Amino acid sequence: MRSNFPPLNGLKTFEAAARHLNFSRAAAELHVTPSAVSHQIKGLEARIGQTLFRRDGKALNLTEAGGILLRGAQSAFGHLSRAMDALHALNHSPVLTVSVPPSVAMKWLVPRLETFRNRHSDIDVRISTDIELPSLIAGDVDIAVHYGNGDYPGLTAELLVANSVAPMCSPKLCHGDPPLRRPEDLRHFTLLHDIGGDEAGNPAYDWGAWLARHGVADVDATLGLRFNTSADVLNAAVAGAGVAIGKTALAVDDLKSGRLVCLFDALTAEQSAYYVVSAPDSAVRAKIAPFRDWLFEEFAAN
């Protein structure tokens, strides 16, 4: 059926002629000659096997077939026009919607976002905090930072930063009474548990699994405080509430500033990492490229 679909140029010429009911006015609108319009109409009629116009004296009118085709052509061109408007808005809208996990927003993105806004004041950044990766094809979200394995079919995923996990706490706990110097000393401290999202059930964040790997048998890993987000776990550790198994990628500012310290030289690389995820055509969108470049620049610097 598609092989019999008439050429768009012929449909465009027909729509103008049918709207004006005058080949000369249609020719003027299309910047062609009246004979060119007549030629296109004849070709279209031959293609579909229907007469589209009839002459009643000096008046030009549509046949029944012409009326049917006009309604269809105008509807189709209307849809195309709206689609082009949407594409233009997609490329030129100043609004950039960025999806990030809540903890990334709190611990990393929001504290740095002013530097991007100062550099690109024409881009209106809006943050969507999402645990699950939203649809980037639908256009509601322009770009995402997502924690996972990097396998996102139909999307472009670029490794932003690898992640490691380690026990970490406020440095004041290390030199208190009792001190915190060896894994066995954890029996005197509150364990902070990350039970939100991807961390729930992940052995890398499970205190029981960590203690077993390090040969510590007399610490009850079922006790302690539990938090639904990695950011809350880290903030509790900064406040001195206990010892967390934390993400180094999220805790980078706390570690650099000395608000947190990693313990026992027990840094463990994790398989999951943070990826910049976008639709395959996102590189052509003027508002996305600067933000993507800024993300990689900031992570490289930190």
Residues 205 and 265 in one domain: yes
Number of domains observed in the structure of the chain: 3
Q: What is the pLDDT of residue 78?
A: 83
Q: What percent of the chain has pLDDT over 90?
A: 52
pLDDT in tens, 241-278: 999 999 999 999 999 999 999 999 888 898 889 999 98
CB 268 within 8 A of CB 204: yes
Please state, in angstroms and rounded to a whole number, the distance separating the CA atoms of residues 47 and 40.
10
Where is the domain boundary, 38, 67, 92?
92
Residues spanned by the domain of 234: 162-272
Residues 292 and 151 in one domain: yes
How far is CA 254 from each of CA 75, 166, 239, rounded to the nearest angstrom?
A: 58, 13, 11
Residues 280 and 266 in one domain: no
Please state, in angstroms and rounded to a whole number, the distance separating the CA atoms of residues 28 and 131.
57
Give pTM, 2 decimals.
0.67
